[in-house]
A and B are shown apart, each in its own frame.
Chain A
Amino acid sequence: MSRLPALGRILLPAIFMAALLMAWEMLVRLAAIPPYVLPSPTLIGATLINDWPLLSRALVVTLITTLEGLALALVGGVGLALLFARSRTIEWVLYPYAVILQVTPIIAIAPLLLIYTSSETTVLICAWIVAFFPILSNTTTGLRATDRNLLALFTLYGASSWQVLWHLRMRAALPYFLAGLRIGGGLSLIGAVVAEIAAGSAGAGGGLAYRIVEAQYRLNIPRMFAALILLAVAGIAIFAVLSGISHLLLRRWHESALAPPER
């Protein structure tokens, strides 16, 4: 792939997106498509502004749940990975459950959880479940990927198992963990939204996905689009922030954070 100059790299996608939106707008106007079938971009923009008080409150609810779910997944995933790294037996016994939670579609679990807990808790649990696995699996891999010779050297210098863990294995695992966290961040939002939709059909909730369900019942299609845009932006923001953190932590030493070689 040839490299674009810096300006073009920003400008070109922006121009393409503008053209796409323009085509959409033209299509809606020229074909006189009613807004309850397909709203025009300008109408969606106006809805975003007019409904901002409602939507922003919902966005905050969803974001908080997402971050709480991610935080729980981080603690649980890293904690369990550390346990796995210390004992293969524990891994052997517990890993199947982690896999079961991962492979069972969250949309199928959510209705069940709603029976046992409140809708807020259900949403949180769902966000946690989906974000948990990539963090666990990546961190476990990372803790195992420590250079054998470095481990031998630490043994030679009489390092305690805590020193090996803290000074060596956890640092070697950092790039893996951060990659897992980046995936987990996006998944946490998806988990929260899926659960909100499940809870929304049950008639409760305050998050963005609930607003989408509600808008759908009322045939308020522009608001559905507006909420969808906010969700997409939230997802991008979470990914950007986590990528930024990852870059800051790794830029001095890890290949993944280095600039591609100049040609």
Chain B
Amino acid sequence: MTDAAAPTKAAPAPPLLRLERVSKTFPNGTMALDALSLAIGQGEFVSLLGPSGCGKSTALRLIAGLIAPTAGDIVWNDAGRAGHRALSFVFQESTLMPWATAFDNVMMPLKLRGMRRTEAAPRVLEALAQVGLPDSAGAYPRELSGGMKMRVSIARALVTEPTLLLMDEPFAALDEITRFRLNQDLLQLYRSRAMTIVFVTHSIYESVFLSSRVVVMAPRPGRVVSAIDVPLAYPRPEALRSDAAYNRLCNHLSEALHTAMAPRDFL
């Protein structure tokens, strides 16, 4: 099969899934996505970058199977929609159950699969430790800071050991210091597991710092305008943020974003 529909050079890794000319029109007539084609490679860290209304969150929800496309196909290369189970989602808000402790929140996906508490406990505690919250298992969400809540949310996503992690602007509501720290920790988790991540953001810097490939999207209707590989080696230290190559890429993306936006928005 040719990759003609994909806007990128063929991804170096074997594709995990492909969106083939996927469109989504909502019942109110809004066209969120227009014939979006995109391949996500195994083990890639792909950022979907764009202004609000460019359909990046819609694309993520389509991949998750939370909504169905109006036209087009989503093709999975692993054992089909068993991928449904190996997939986790992190929202912009931590989306925790306020009546449950951090432990019970993280255990929820396992519990829904019928796993018993004693059986699930080691995995839950391990996930909490991995996100840097080994001592907060008994805390209720209201007792945690915004950053800690997001960590619990990430632990809940990791506890099922997903092959694909979908993140919808997870750090957008956090302060910059917390966001930088979570960026670092997320990269560490990404590298320590055989995981593919699709990360939605509107921050150019965040997208370059985290990803191996940045897909730039434009609104009205949502579409891909360009995809740029980030040839920076992992691990990526904090010092990278002042690196010349990093900043060149950021400028490049910023320009791509502007040319994509300009003709429609300023006429």
Contacts and interface: CB of A to CB of B under 8 A. Distances in A.
Interface of A: 147, 149-150, 152-159, 163, 167-168, 171-172, 174, 252-255, 258
Interface of B: 61, 64-66, 84-85, 87-89, 91, 93, 95, 97-100, 108-109, 111-113, 140-142, 160
A122 to B, nearest CB: 40
Contacts of B109: 157
B98 A156 contact: no
Contact of B89 (A153, A168, A258): A153
Contacts of B85: 158
A156 B97 contact: no
Given A149-B95, A158-B85, A253-B140, 9 more contacts: A147-B95, A152-B89, A156-B89, A157-B112, A159-B112, A167-B112, A172-B99, A253-B100, A253-B142
B89 A253 contact: no
| Of listed A149, A152, A153, residue having the most chain B CB within 10 A | A153
Contacts of A147: 95
A101 B59 CA distance: 48
A144 to B, nearest CB: 17
Given A156-B65, A156-B66, A171-B97, A149 B113 contact: no
A105 to B, nearest CB: 38
Given A152-B66, A152-B89, A158 B95 contact: no
Contacts of A258: 142
A150 B112 contact: no
Nearest to B95: A149
Contact of A253 (B84, B87, B141): B141
Nearest to A175: B99
A253 B66 contact: no
Given A152-B89, A156-B65, A252 B113 contact: no
A158 B108 CA distance: 11
B91 A156 contact: no
A159 B84 CA distance: 12
Given A152-B89, A155-B66, A167-B111, A174 B95 contact: no
A167 to B, nearest CB: 7
Given A252-B140, A253-B142, A149 B98 contact: no
Contacts of B61: 152
Contacts of B160: 157
A22 to B, nearest CB: 46
A78 B151 CA distance: 36
Given A158-B85, A158-B113, A253-B142, A150 B65 contact: no
B64 A156 contact: yes
Given A149-B93, A150-B95, A174-B99, A157 B66 contact: no
Contact of B98 (A157, A158, A253): A253
Contacts of B112: 154, 157-159, 163, 167
Nearest to B96: A150
A254 B140 CA distance: 10
Contacts of B87: 156
B106 to A, nearest CB: 12
Contact of B108 (A152, A167, A172): A167
| Of listed A157, A158, A174, A254, residue having the most chain B CB within 10 A | A157
A132 to B, nearest CB: 26
B113 A157 contact: yes
A153 B95 contact: yes
CB-based closest 9 A-B pairs: A149-B95, A157-B109, A159-B112, A253-B99, A157-B112, A253-B98, A149-B91, A171-B99, A253-B140
24 contacts: A149-B91, A150-B97, A152-B61, A152-B64, A152-B89, A153-B89, A153-B95, A154-B112, A156-B66, A156-B89, A157-B112, A157-B113, A157-B160, A158-B84, A158-B85, A167-B111, A171-B97, A174-B99, A252-B140, A253-B98, A253-B140, A253-B142, A254-B98, A254-B99
A114 B204 CA distance: 75
